[in-house]
Structure 1
């Protein structure tokens, strides 16, 4: 699993669909951090949810049961959906533009939206508070009418098959263009990266094709992470930097798009 928000989206969807228990959601989240806190991102959200309004660094409350309560109450509105967002600068698909949630989600690189498309809903963003604590901040935010993603599961799976090949080619090219002098075996480094992803479980009820897409996306992400760190972390020229970015950026974009399609397919509750 690529992020705490992805874990919460998939497992909350499974819980709301009746195929997982609340304890399953809590266990999945605790694989990220042993302690979770929750707070409102603004006074209005605090009044609506009965949560304390606090800033990161001064969290209030512990545990994730209030988080499940917020999700359940928001999803009680007919037509509500769970949505994962994985924004980066220049790619803000699925975000409610001009909102505090959007700004903070871009900074965090992730978040979750809950509610009826086109109506007011709830946003959640996890942020690390120290090494062992995740603080979930709750926002009142409009839910965009569309996610900005057009791919089907079949298209996403095909894209990931191509991305695995392209990522391996990119890694080989970067190891032969004088970008560094790392001595580590790339295969061992990739396996180590994959081990970090695979310690996070999926619900058994998610579609098999979605699971394959998520596994492939993790594989590509592991290759790209190794390509960025070994040995390409110290490019020797401006042209090497440009080649490095041009090789890897489209693959990261493909990973984000495929993960969003697969997570949303897995998180459908109706």
Structure 2
């Protein structure tokens, strides 16, 4: 599934480069929750960006955008950490710990901050702003390489689905996958979003839908521990390809938006 951090990365980058209005950013966030709020994790970050600290009432995301503009933010990057890989999140610390728990984050190296979203109440998503000591290690993945890897992953996922015999136990599996993929890819993006990035995100949504169905299939709840372990091992490289592809597509979108914005000045 795509994530709120990807939405904020792309729309904020578009806004910073004059390709979107602040209201466009806020509207795009409504896909993930009716209400969004922002708070800094520590007093130092709060002071630096003029945002509320951990013991103060949160503010809306419009004030976050204003703070990033004042601080001189240029662009953002998506991080999708997993156990054993928290590159680009400044090493062990509050940001990487929280991002790992959430499975997502965005980092803004130019102002040394990272943000992690979390649903804190029904219809309310809170963005916590953390200090980012360093973004070293956040891998740049060429979109062509990610797209190729995703194609191979799609073949692996399809083969895994067949070997797990999912269709035999779930006769509507094709429709289930199609519905999941459509839901995962039905997100608003800026008009200047590059077609190649959109294509890779769409393909990632399709592969992720296959993964979701394959992971959830346990006919009669009788799958043995060894079979479950074999399934996890078979799907792990596919999941990694999806993660890499999403990061590469978002990176490409940010690059193109920055170039498009520069061409307008």
**1:211 aligned to 2:198?**
yes
**1:253 aligned to 2:240?**
yes
- 1:196 is displaced (CA, Å) by 2.2
What is the CA RMSD across the aligned residues, in angstroms? 2.2
**1:230 aligned to 2:224?**
no
CA change 1:91–1:146 in 2 (3 A) is closer
- Matching residue within 68, 72, 82 for 2:69: 72
Runs of 4+ aligned residues of structure 1 deviating over 6 Å after TM superposition are none
Give the Cα–Cα distance (whole angstroms) in 2 for the partners of residues 162 and 110 of structure 1.
Answer: 24
CA change 1:146–1:181 in 2 (3 A) is same
- 1:226 is displaced (CA, Å) by 0.9
SS in 2 for 1:147: coil
CA change 1:71–1:50 in 2 (3 A) is closer
Superposed CA deviations along residues 213-246 of structure 1, whole A, max 9, x for unmatched, are 1111111111100111134794622320221111
Equivalent pairs, count: 257
Contact 2:153–2:237, Cα closer than 8 Å, also in 1 = no
Aligned to 1:112: 106
Aligned to 2:112: 121
- Structure-1-length-normalised TM-score: 0.87
- Matching residue within 185, 190, 196 for 2:183: 196
Contact 1:81–1:114, Cα closer than 8 Å, also in 2 = yes
**1:241 aligned to 2:228?**
yes
Gaps of at least 5 residues in structure 1 are none
- Structure-2-length-normalised TM-score: 0.89
- Matching residue within 164, 172, 177 for 1:174: 164
Gaps of at least 5 residues in structure 2 are 260-265
CA change 1:62–1:47 in 2 (3 A) is closer
Give the Cα–Cα distance (whole angstroms) in 2 for the partners of residues 26 and 108 of structure 1.
Answer: 21
Give the Cα–Cα distance (whole angstroms) in 2 for the partners of residues 113 and 84 of structure 1.
Answer: 7
CA change 1:183–1:67 in 2 (3 A) is same
1:43-192 → structure 2 map (5 Å cutoff): 43-54=43-54, 60-74=57-71, 76=72, 80-116=74-110, 121-149=112-140, 151-175=141-165, 182-192=169-179
Give the Cα–Cα distance (whole angstroms) in 2 for the partners of residues 142 and 61 of structure 1.
Answer: 23
Give the structure with the larger helix fraction.
Answer: 2
Give the Cα–Cα distance (whole angstroms) in 2 for the partners of residues 227 and 27 of structure 1.
Answer: 33
SS in 2 for 1:129: strand
Contact 2:160–2:234, Cα closer than 8 Å, also in 1 = yes
